Chains A and B, each alone.
Chain A
Amino acid sequence: MADTDLTFDSLLDLLRRLPPTRVEENVNSLCDLAPEYADDLLGNVDQPLKVLVDTEKGREFLGCDYNRDGDSFRSPWSNNYLPEATGGPVPSTRLRELEVSLNAAFDTYREMYFEGGTSSVYLWDLEDDPGQGKEISFAGVVLMKKVLSTPTSDQPETTPSGSWDSLHVFECQERGRSAKYKLTSTVMLVLETKTLATIEGKEVDETSKGKGNVTLSGSMTRQAEVDYPLTNSAGHIPNIGRMVEDMEIKMRNLLSSVYFGKTKDVINDLRSQSGLELKSKEDLLRAELAGKLGARKA
């Protein structure tokens, strides 16, 4: 057993190291390398959310491993598996009611924070005979996705593009007049832009030209546990709402510090922009001249 655990740890470690931009391709490769762990991998590794269309309801919804059955995904709007009905699992009546309400609430949340994009909420029962007891336990996932498309021809070449995918997976246990929520949140963020590095200084020939691109991509995961009061089943909506909102705010700050702070610091550790010999321009010039004289002698 120890060996097999080590293999799985190695698979996860690989995915922690390989480029996030290629996570789908790499998960597929690793599933081929270790088919016995394919299900565990798919269940443990977050991949970009799929945007699907519920044609009957005329709305987009999001697909992930939690609403997947084979090649079909359950729509939160119609409760049907699409594109092919598979007879896959659906939540109990009571939970489906809550799911409908949560989808409506997070649709508002999405509009307020994302001003676009797509959201979906899926719930599933954690009990064998759901709906029988007074206190229920269930699990769910709140999904958010927004994509900034690549610049069109009338936009500047260096207009950035990117995408945000967040997954908030939670378990809820009702306990008398309160409920305990365990949350695991992952945000996948990709930002891309082009670089030109044109030099405007007159010393450099005007024909100097450059082009390139910058990609910042990745995912971060955080966990939280909260206890909230619960007076009736509708109380789950503000509870889950606040929990997810607080976590997304926290993670947005975290992503900001890692993406725009940490990686920038590393670049400036790798290369000193102003030069390590912090001298006046005249000193640098003198040193350069000396270097040239030396070079000529050699």
Chain B
Amino acid sequence: MAELSLEEKCKLAAKTLEQSPPGEINDVINDIRAVINDDNALMPYVLPTLREYNLSQLHVIDHPVSDGVPAHSSILSHATILPGTEGEEERFVDAEGKRSFKFDHITLGITDYQPYDLPEEEETFRAALAQSLAKYTKNHFPSGQSSVSSSQYPLLPPASAIPEPAPDVTKEESESEEIQEPVTDIVNEQVNEGDLEPAPTPATGDLNVASEKDEIVRPESLDQLDDLVEEAKEEEEGSVKKESVKPDVEEVGEDGQEEKVTTPRAEEATSSALEEKKDIVPEPKQERVEDPKYTLEIVGNKYNPNNFWTGRWRTRWVVDRASGTVDGNINVDVHYYEQGNVQLATRHSASFPLPVEEVNGQTVASQIVTTISKIETAYHLELNDVYGELGDKAFRALRRALPVTRQKMDWEKVTGYSLGSDLTKARA
């Protein structure tokens, strides 16, 4: 077998990153770096994999206090990509802070905050969902972070940012906005993934407690890679996947069907000034999605490397008005690695019809989250039952704790009846 080229090796190595257990991505990266031993060659391949990992694993970002926005956290995911951005220009939405930002997947640093404003209708519904979901998350996930995103395009920045005369519509929305100075260079505060987690809790099992020190701390050597980031980014361009959650986009002006596009199907329609749009403007124009999707995400992480375990619960529910459904996926991953490597991986999908109207004073948003809560609790209960099923039935069917006789083997007897004359003699 011919030895692989360095390039092929780097590709192969980057692939193993995707399989990294919760909270151990840095350990896996460092192992791979030691094996490849050529960061310059490796990093261009690691970057796109890291991006995908951060997005699919719902990486939690802590935003420090800035420009009057209090410190808070947001989630990185496919759903929080700023609609219309990709490649090197890719930005992520911090809906609570009403900002978008650029993210460096290697240093985990945030740069270039920009204002982000949804049209009022979308923001109202999104905020209602976010409030209910945060409540549910707080009650059920001790270290949980929740996020609700809308696939709707944000409002264009105020007129001053646009060379052409801005359409009237944006003026109406502009009362809230001044252009924010971009916030840069908080990289050093963000590099330690472990910081995002609460203090380790002691393992509750009865196994030996190891004294090894925290393994999750991001080695400072990764910081030295900062200068590689730029070239790595160039490599990334073109290999970035199209985001899959973006719904079909109908661009106003191209099909000439303004009425259809701008008439919200949903019940909470507020008259939007956007309907006034008339001309095909070649310069930046307000894009709209007809039935924007709302994605509700929760991630709960617990990392306890001192006791050799990590865990992550991920939840993603997509509210789709067009199809009238709410579809969800729940993933639970647990890694236990004291003198071994044991992993629990669960995948569960579910869906329910989208509530259409207020019932007994309960808003649609609240009904959605209530149903999510019920389904997740039912799933959680089922998981606990599954343990009984697997432990009592399957495990016993594989290997009994003791033979039917309820006694250990009589090895002298076994050798007696199954062996040849030589051994029979030996017993005599």
Contacts and interface: CB of A to CB of B under 8 A. Distances in A.
A29 B19 contact: no
A238 B408 contact: no
Interface stretch (B33-41, B82-90, B109-117): B33-41
Which label, helix, strand, loop or mixed, suits the secondary structure of the A interface? helix
Interface string B58-91: 0000000000000000000000000000000000
A258 interface: yes
A59 interface: no
Interface in B264-310: 300-302, 309
Contacts of A108: 409, 414, 418
A20 B423 CA distance: 42
A263 B419 contact: no
B426 A275 contact: no
Contact of A267 (B142, B344, B404): B344
B371 A208 contact: yes
Contact of B394 (A162, A269, A298): A162
A33 B12 contact: yes
Interface in A2-46: 6-7, 9-11, 13-22, 26, 29-30, 32-35
Nearest to A242: B411
A113 B399 contact: yes
B347 A193 contact: no
Contacts of A214: 344-346, 383, 386, 390
Interface stretch (A50-58, A62-70, A135-143, A219-227): A219-227
A291 B374 contact: no
A195 B332 CA distance: 13
Contacts of A17: 20-21, 24, 27-28, 31, 335, 337, 341
A92 interface: no
A87 interface: no
A203 B374 contact: yes
A260 B337 contact: no
B342 to A, nearest CB: 3
A62 B36 CA distance: 34
A295 B422 contact: no
Contacts of A134: none
A91 interface: no
B204 interface: yes
Given A208-B371, A267-B313, A272-B140, A222 B339 contact: yes
A47 to B, nearest CB: 13
Given A271-B380, A295-B132, A221 B415 contact: no
B16 A14 contact: yes
A137 B128 CA distance: 74
B415 A257 contact: no
Contacts of A286: none
B400 interface: yes
Nearest to B394: A160
Given A10-B31, A277-B139, A266 B426 contact: no
Contacts of B135: 291
Contact of A256 (B313, B343, B383, B391): B391
Given A234-B415, A252-B401, A292 B366 contact: yes
Interface stretch (B47-55, B232-240, B249-257, B357-365): B357-365
Given A17-B341, A269-B142, A210 B348 contact: yes
Contact of B391 (A237, A238, A259, A273): A259
A101 B417 CA distance: 11
B159 interface: no
A252 B399 contact: yes
A238 B144 CA distance: 54
Interface in B373-419: 374-384, 386-387, 389-391, 393-395, 397-405, 408-409, 411-412, 414-415, 418-419
Contacts of B365: 295
A97 interface: yes
B388 to A, nearest CB: 8
Given A17-B21, A222-B339, A276 B382 contact: no
Interface in B96-151: 124, 127-128, 131-132, 135, 138-144
Given A146-B399, A212-B347, A292 B340 contact: no
Contact of A258 (B336, B376, B389): B336
B145 to A, nearest CB: 12
B205 interface: yes
Contact of B363 (A114, A144, A292): A292
A157 interface: no
A248 B182 CA distance: 61
A264 B390 CA distance: 12
Contact of A105 (B32, B394, B411, B426): B411
Contacts of A234: 415, 419, 422-423, 426-427
A211 interface: yes
A242 B408 CA distance: 9
Contacts of B161: none
Contact of A114 (B139, B380, B400): B400
A277 B405 CA distance: 49
A91 B131 CA distance: 71
B337 A101 contact: no
A242 B345 CA distance: 35
Contact of B342 (A26, A162, A218): A218
A222 B12 CA distance: 31
Contacts of A266: 302, 309, 311, 334, 336, 344
B12 A264 contact: no
A33 B362 CA distance: 57
Contacts of B142: 269-270, 272, 276
A258 B415 contact: no
Residue among A13, A148, A217 with the highest chain B CB neighbour number at 10 A = A13
B263 interface: no
A77 interface: no
Contacts of B139: 272, 275-277
A241 interface: yes
A124 B351 CA distance: 58
Contacts of A277: 139
Contacts of A257: 205-207
Given A214-B383, A266-B334, 14 more contacts: A11-B31, A17-B27, A18-B28, A32-B4, A148-B398, A199-B374, A212-B347, A212-B379, A215-B345, A237-B411, A259-B342, A262-B205, A268-B384, A275-B140
16 contacts: A9-B34, A18-B16, A18-B19, A32-B12, A35-B1, A35-B3, A105-B419, A189-B395, A201-B374, A216-B344, A237-B415, A263-B334, A272-B140, A273-B377, A292-B363, A295-B365
